[in-house]
Chains A and B, each alone.
Chain A
Amino acid sequence: MSGAAEEQRPGGEALRARVRAAAVRFFCEPQSPAPLGVFRLLMAGLALFQAVLWYRDWSAFFGPDAWVQWEISRALGLEWQLHMMHVAGFLKHFGVSPDQSATVFYWTYVTFLVALLVGWHTRVAAFFVCLSHYVMMNTVSIFVYGLDIFLQIALFYLLVMPVAKAYSLDVWQGRVSSSPSWGVTLSRRVLQIHLCLAYISSGFEKVQSPAWWSGNVIWRSLVQPDFRQYDFTWLARCPWLAMLSSWFTMLIESGYCIAMWIPRVRVGWMMGIVVLHLGIALFMGLGLFGIIMILLSISAFGWEVWNDIKIIRKHGPLAAAHPVSSSHGSLGCHQPAQNLIEPE
């Protein structure tokens, strides 16, 4: 028995060494920062667009006499959570009234968003944008929904990740290097894994619900007044269609964490994600939520999907799988591969 174990040991060690090498490549092999630059542009652009939409309703949600007044929203949060009231308390020392402080806050937020978008002193801008959005969420905590949560996650990542290394004024003006680095690779992996966890969580919770298997959640989402965009009551006569949509949603969400790591398969999955979230945007009226989910998937896996599309266009869909390296985000591939991601 012990002799057999000894015989197997070299093979086991070799396997361990290969797994370790693959893990090191997957998490540490320097990559081009371009995908992180795209991530910054997409998220800052979306947040800026959202801020433009907020403009006319700003005082109705964030002013001292908003639909939910500051005193109430402040009491809803924990004692140490930053709130617009704290900002007003600080600005009061400069003779700014509570109403004016909400306006000052808005324009400061927009200014830092623009700085983040163009990559000018990116880290500082990202810090203030992330902090401001945190204050905003605490101020309107009663009105918060999925969009705000994913935007806050993205803004936090913009703060801690090296997103200034591509498509930024910081690179153009020589403040930041655009060279590939392990930090870029780690950042992309964290973003990819976080998104996989979010989707598997969402899919996992749905799969356990009988209402999802029967299609009744899709039906209720489409007909009840909160999300109703069109008259979908006819769907009751075609339950198979609601059921099919429901199963499609569960499949796409549950399979995301596996499919997005498989070359070529992820092209189809990305299309599925786009269809799913466009459906949410069009038929439930959750436009910005649908868009941020699509943009997050593009930020996390868009680079790999784009490379797959180029390979498919060149060699056809049935071409042998490209020997994808860890820089393409595939697990379990151990051959060295050409890096299709060109450094800046």
Chain B
Amino acid sequence: MLRRIVYLLAFVHLTLVAAVIFHRADPWITRGWWERPLGFWGGVNFSMWRFGFFSPDVGKSSEIEFTINYRDGRVENLSTLSGFDFLTANHESLIRFYGFRIHTAEDPALQDLCARSVVVRLLNELGISEDVVSVDYAIRAIRYPTMQGFRGGERVETTEFYRTNFVMSQE
């Protein structure tokens, strides 16, 4: 009996994986009492995940730039394009900021919250929060042309899609 149950569970699990992958579960998967238990199940084992990495395209790249304005008038630029690595200890940690840039771009409110959080962390890590007047935070999308376009002299397209400014308290 136990054996039959185990085989049945394995079958149901793989069926769910296949149904999600081939878009067969889309109409009903998030509509009903099962949404929550399935959400938990999917969170634990990612049986409800599509694996279309870099499909249909690789997506835009992006740059995050901090402009730090000091009390003594100095201005410091930290840009991910110029090698700013978020003070990470290794490349594996740095890679994770690719996901960060993609995810935060999805929602303006989330961008605001994340920008504030990141700037606070940066100032604390650098130990400069007392010396800074304000910080500008900008995110730019970078789109490379196709190979044909690049050969024809088409330029890399850079578009700023988020900018905010944090002014430090004078107290």
**Least distance between A70 CB and chain B CB atoms (Å):** 10
Interface residue from B61, B96, B117, B147 paired with A72 (Cβ < 8 Å): B117
Q: Is the CB of B99 within 8 A of A144?
A: yes
A65 is contacted by which of B54, B114, B121 (Cβ under 8 Å)? B121
Partner of B56, one of A66, A69, A212: A212
Give the nearest-CB partner of B36 in chain A: A80
The tally of residues in B whose CB lies under 8 Å from a CB in A reads 65
CA distance A219 to B6 in the complex (A): 46
What is the predominant secondary structure among interface residues of chain B facing chain A?
helix
Flag whether B40 is at the interface (Cβ < 8 A).
yes
Asked if residues A145 and B98 are in contact (CB atoms below 8 Å), the reply is yes
Chain A residue contacts of B148, Cβ below 8 A:
239
Judge whether B147 and A206 touch: CB under 8 Å. no
Residue A177 is within 8 A (CB to CB) of chain B in the complex:
no
Nearest A residue (CB) for B146 = A216
Tell me the minimal C-beta distance from B36 to chain A in angstroms.
Answer: 7
Q: Looking across the interface, which residue of chain A has its beta carbon closest to that of B94? A: A285
Does residue B155 face the partner (Cβ distance < 8 Å to A)?
Answer: no
Which of chain A's residues have a CB closer than 8 A to the CB of B30? none
A77's nearest neighbour on chain B, judged by CB, is B43
With a CB–CB cut-off of 8 A, which chain B residues contact A319?
Answer: none
Whether the Cβ atoms of A68 and B118 lie closer than 8 Å is: yes
**Which residues of chain B are within 8 angstroms of A236 by Cβ–Cβ distance?**
147, 150-151
Question: Measured between C-beta atoms, what is the minimum distance from B154 to chain A in Å?
Answer: 10
Residues on the B chain within 8 Å of A332, using CB = none
B161 at the interface (CB under 8 A from A): no
Query: Cβ of A96 < 8 Å from any Cβ of B?
Result: no
- Check A217 against B17 for contact (C-beta < 8 Å): no
Binding site for A on B (CB under 8 A): 3, 6-7, 10, 13-14, 17-18, 21-22, 36, 39-40, 43-46, 49-58, 61-63, 80-81, 86-93, 95-101, 103-104, 110, 113-114, 117-118, 120-121, 124-125, 142, 144, 146-148, 150-151
**13 A-B pairs with C-beta separation under 8 A:** A65-B124, A66-B121, A141-B103, A143-B99, A201-B22, A202-B51, A202-B53, A205-B55, A206-B55, A206-B56, A211-B58, A216-B147, A226-B101
